[in-house]
Amino acid sequence: MDLDVARAILPISTWQRKTQPLDELCSYQYSSYVNEICGLEDVGKDPLVRTLLGAAHRLEGKVEGALAASGLSLTKLGILHHLVQAGESVQLSRLADRISCVKSNITQLVDRLESDGLVKRVSDPEDRRSIRAEITSAGNHRYREGARILEEQEEGMLRCLPASDRKQLANLLEQLCQ
């Protein structure tokens, strides 16, 4: 991890103490506090995967914490996003597929969004057995607020990386995930 990036996202004591080599098989090149949260900091040959997982966990936690101020989570924001993008009511099963969620969880999520007044259930005119979710005006408002918070969080997190580094990182992560 670049020392400037480490300084930007890690507590000072963390990046200062992570400057010593670990051993011949593994180095602190990728090791940091973010891979220690997995509890496997001394397992394996190269901690890069744990570092990536830890970084994702920490970044997700920051975003979730910021979104909580609007009463949303990333998952709830995702549901609202799909409803906004659709421009019409959406079958719950289709919503579940869109956010990679099991159908039983989508029911609970829509229950919570409905109790918050952000979505409402409507009958499917083509299939009486099917229920659809529709975003409310309050849901549209909350979605815009959540999207703004997410955008602010992204800008803040990525501020330390020049555009060329962002593109390179995205390409490297894409390669890693193939």
CATH number of 74-146: 1.10.10.10
| Mean pLDDT calculated for residue range 24-28 | 43
Q: Which residue has the higher pLDDT, 2 or 123?
A: 123
Phi and psi at 62, nearest 5°, equal -65, -45
- Please report where in the chains the tokens 């101020």 appear, as a residue: 69
Q: Which residue has the higher pLDDT, 104 or 153?
A: 153
Q: Are the CB atoms for 148 and 70 separated by under 8 Å?
A: no
pLDDT of residue 16: 42
Q: Which residue has the higher pLDDT, 11 or 59?
A: 59
Consecutive H or E run containing 122? strand 119-123
Q: Which residue has the higher pLDDT, 129 or 123?
A: 123
Percent of the chain with pLDDT over 90: 57
pLDDT of residue 12: 39
Comparing 22-31, 76-85, 101-110, which segment has the lowest mean pLDDT?
22-31
CA nearest 26: which of 10, 42, 3? 42
CA nearest 73: which of 63, 83, 81? 63
pLDDT of residue 126: 83
| Mean pLDDT calculated for residue range 167-171 | 94
**Cα 42 to Cα 36: distance, rounded to the nearest angstrom:** 9
Q: Are the CB atoms for 160 and 9 separated by under 8 Å?
A: yes
| Mean pLDDT calculated for residue range 113-141 | 93
Give the residue extent of every domain in the chain. Answer: 1-68, 74-146
Residues facing 132 on adjacent strands = 91, 122
Residues facing 119 on adjacent strands = 135
pLDDT of residue 128: 80
pLDDT tens for 43-94 read 667 778 888 888 899 999 999 999 999 999 999 999 999 999 999 999 999 9
| Mean pLDDT calculated for residue range 12-27 | 41
